Amino acid sequence: MKRIVVLTTIILLITTNMNAQNLKGNNWTARKVDRTYIVSVADKSSVLDALTDFVIAQKIPAGQITGIGATNEATLRFFDPVTKKYVDKTFNEQMEISNLSGNISEVLGKPMLHLHVTLGRKDYMALAGHLLDAKIRGAGEFFVYPVSSKVIKVKNEAVGLNFYDFGK
Protein backbone atom coordinates (compact mmCIF):
# COMPACT_ATOMS: atom_id res chain seq x y z
CA MET A 1 0.00 0.00 0.00
CA LYS A 2 2.81 2.37 0.95
CA ARG A 3 4.51 1.73 -2.42
CA ILE A 4 1.30 2.56 -4.29
CA VAL A 5 0.97 5.89 -2.47
CA VAL A 6 4.62 6.79 -3.14
CA LEU A 7 4.36 5.74 -6.79
CA THR A 8 1.12 7.72 -7.26
CA THR A 9 2.72 10.81 -5.68
CA ILE A 10 5.77 10.56 -7.97
CA ILE A 11 3.58 10.16 -11.06
CA LEU A 12 1.48 13.19 -10.06
CA LEU A 13 4.60 15.32 -9.51
CA ILE A 14 6.10 14.28 -12.85
CA THR A 15 2.92 14.87 -14.86
CA THR A 16 2.24 18.20 -13.13
CA ASN A 17 5.76 19.46 -13.88
CA MET A 18 5.59 18.14 -17.47
CA ASN A 19 2.68 20.51 -18.13
CA ALA A 20 4.42 23.48 -16.48
CA GLN A 21 6.88 25.92 -18.04
CA ASN A 22 8.78 28.56 -16.02
CA LEU A 23 9.28 32.00 -17.60
CA LYS A 24 11.13 35.21 -16.72
CA GLY A 25 10.97 38.79 -17.98
CA ASN A 26 11.43 42.41 -16.93
CA ASN A 27 10.37 42.52 -13.27
CA TRP A 28 8.22 39.38 -13.50
CA THR A 29 8.48 35.61 -13.29
CA ALA A 30 5.77 33.21 -14.34
CA ARG A 31 4.71 29.64 -14.72
CA LYS A 32 2.57 28.48 -17.62
CA VAL A 33 0.33 25.54 -16.81
CA ASP A 34 -1.73 24.37 -19.77
CA ARG A 35 -3.09 27.70 -21.15
CA THR A 36 -3.05 29.59 -17.83
CA TYR A 37 -0.20 31.78 -16.61
CA ILE A 38 0.64 32.41 -12.95
CA VAL A 39 2.64 35.65 -12.76
CA SER A 40 4.65 37.18 -9.92
CA VAL A 41 5.57 40.87 -10.22
CA ALA A 42 8.77 41.86 -8.42
CA ASP A 43 8.77 44.04 -5.31
CA LYS A 44 9.03 47.80 -6.05
CA SER A 45 8.00 47.25 -9.69
CA SER A 46 5.25 48.88 -11.72
CA VAL A 47 2.24 46.59 -12.10
CA LEU A 48 1.36 48.02 -15.51
CA ASP A 49 4.92 47.90 -16.90
CA ALA A 50 5.56 44.35 -15.69
CA LEU A 51 2.22 42.94 -16.88
CA THR A 52 2.49 44.75 -20.24
CA ASP A 53 6.00 43.33 -20.71
CA PHE A 54 4.65 39.89 -19.82
CA VAL A 55 1.77 40.14 -22.33
CA ILE A 56 4.13 41.27 -25.10
CA ALA A 57 6.75 38.60 -24.31
CA GLN A 58 4.15 35.83 -24.31
CA LYS A 59 2.38 37.22 -27.41
CA ILE A 60 -1.01 37.25 -25.67
CA PRO A 61 -3.49 39.03 -27.98
CA ALA A 62 -6.39 39.13 -25.53
CA GLY A 63 -7.55 37.68 -22.26
CA GLN A 64 -8.41 38.21 -18.63
CA ILE A 65 -6.22 39.18 -15.65
CA THR A 66 -6.92 38.73 -11.94
CA GLY A 67 -4.63 39.37 -9.02
CA ILE A 68 -3.85 40.21 -5.41
CA GLY A 69 -0.87 41.65 -3.57
CA ALA A 70 0.35 44.79 -1.86
CA THR A 71 1.32 48.30 -2.95
CA ASN A 72 2.62 51.48 -1.38
CA GLU A 73 1.77 53.74 -4.31
CA ALA A 74 -1.28 53.51 -6.55
CA THR A 75 -2.86 55.92 -9.00
CA LEU A 76 -6.57 55.43 -9.54
CA ARG A 77 -8.70 57.01 -12.22
CA PHE A 78 -12.34 57.98 -12.30
CA PHE A 79 -14.02 58.67 -15.65
CA ASP A 80 -16.18 61.78 -15.79
CA PRO A 81 -18.77 61.25 -18.57
CA VAL A 82 -19.56 64.98 -18.73
CA THR A 83 -16.01 66.07 -19.54
CA LYS A 84 -15.08 62.70 -21.13
CA LYS A 85 -11.83 62.77 -19.17
CA TYR A 86 -10.29 60.78 -16.37
CA VAL A 87 -9.60 62.34 -12.99
CA ASP A 88 -6.46 60.79 -11.45
CA LYS A 89 -5.56 60.52 -7.79
CA THR A 90 -2.40 58.99 -6.34
CA PHE A 91 -2.36 57.29 -2.93
CA ASN A 92 1.03 56.92 -1.21
CA GLU A 93 0.53 54.48 1.64
CA GLN A 94 0.86 50.76 2.24
CA MET A 95 -2.30 49.01 0.99
CA GLU A 96 -3.48 45.51 0.19
CA ILE A 97 -4.49 44.77 -3.39
CA SER A 98 -7.54 42.78 -2.35
CA ASN A 99 -8.70 42.40 -5.94
CA LEU A 100 -7.39 43.35 -9.35
CA SER A 101 -9.38 42.39 -12.40
CA GLY A 102 -9.20 43.40 -16.00
CA ASN A 103 -8.79 42.49 -19.61
CA ILE A 104 -6.18 42.47 -22.35
CA SER A 105 -6.98 43.88 -25.77
CA GLU A 106 -5.41 45.95 -28.54
CA VAL A 107 -5.75 49.70 -29.09
CA LEU A 108 -4.07 51.38 -32.07
CA GLY A 109 -1.93 48.30 -32.68
CA LYS A 110 -0.57 48.07 -29.13
CA PRO A 111 -1.49 45.87 -26.15
CA MET A 112 -3.94 47.54 -23.79
CA LEU A 113 -4.46 46.41 -20.19
CA HIS A 114 -7.75 47.69 -18.79
CA LEU A 115 -7.46 47.14 -15.04
CA HIS A 116 -9.68 47.86 -12.06
CA VAL A 117 -8.58 47.46 -8.47
CA THR A 118 -9.86 47.41 -4.91
CA LEU A 119 -7.29 48.51 -2.33
CA GLY A 120 -7.53 47.94 1.42
CA ARG A 121 -6.15 50.62 3.69
CA LYS A 122 -4.68 50.26 7.19
CA ASP A 123 -7.98 51.43 8.70
CA TYR A 124 -9.79 48.64 6.77
CA MET A 125 -11.50 51.11 4.46
CA ALA A 126 -11.36 50.40 0.73
CA LEU A 127 -10.48 52.42 -2.35
CA ALA A 128 -11.58 51.30 -5.78
CA GLY A 129 -11.38 52.41 -9.37
CA HIS A 130 -9.64 52.16 -12.71
CA LEU A 131 -5.95 51.43 -12.08
CA LEU A 132 -3.56 53.74 -13.93
CA ASP A 133 -0.59 52.08 -12.19
CA ALA A 134 0.71 50.84 -8.86
CA LYS A 135 4.11 49.94 -7.42
CA ILE A 136 4.27 46.54 -5.78
CA ARG A 137 5.46 46.66 -2.18
CA GLY A 138 5.44 43.11 -1.00
CA ALA A 139 3.87 40.54 -3.29
CA GLY A 140 2.13 40.89 -6.64
CA GLU A 141 0.40 37.66 -7.69
CA PHE A 142 -1.63 37.43 -10.88
CA PHE A 143 -3.37 34.88 -13.05
CA VAL A 144 -3.61 35.52 -16.79
CA TYR A 145 -6.16 33.64 -18.90
CA PRO A 146 -5.40 34.22 -22.60
CA VAL A 147 -7.79 33.79 -25.49
CA SER A 148 -6.48 32.92 -28.93
CA SER A 149 -8.31 35.68 -30.78
CA LYS A 150 -7.27 39.29 -31.21
CA VAL A 151 -9.71 41.69 -29.54
CA ILE A 152 -9.54 45.30 -30.72
CA LYS A 153 -10.91 48.38 -28.99
CA VAL A 154 -11.60 51.67 -30.74
CA LYS A 155 -12.43 55.06 -29.30
CA ASN A 156 -16.11 55.92 -29.20
CA GLU A 157 -15.91 59.70 -29.51
CA ALA A 158 -19.50 60.23 -28.36
CA VAL A 159 -18.74 58.53 -25.02
CA GLY A 160 -15.02 59.20 -24.78
CA LEU A 161 -13.99 55.59 -24.06
CA ASN A 162 -12.50 52.66 -25.97
CA PHE A 163 -15.05 49.96 -26.78
CA TYR A 164 -14.69 46.50 -28.29
CA ASP A 165 -14.99 46.49 -32.08
CA PHE A 166 -15.68 42.90 -33.11
CA GLY A 167 -15.82 43.93 -36.78
CA LYS A 168 -12.06 44.46 -36.83
CB 62 within 8 A of CB 145: no
SS3 34: coil
CB neighbours of 57 closer than 8 A, spacing ≥ 6? 23, 25
pLDDT above 50: residue 14: no
The model's pTM: 0.88
DSSP state of 149: S
Task: Quick: pLDDT tens for 104-143.
Answer: 999 999 999 999 999 999 999 999 999 999 999 999 999 9
Task: Quick: pLDDT tens for 45-68.
Answer: 999 999 999 999 999 999 999 999
What is the amino acid identity at position 82? V
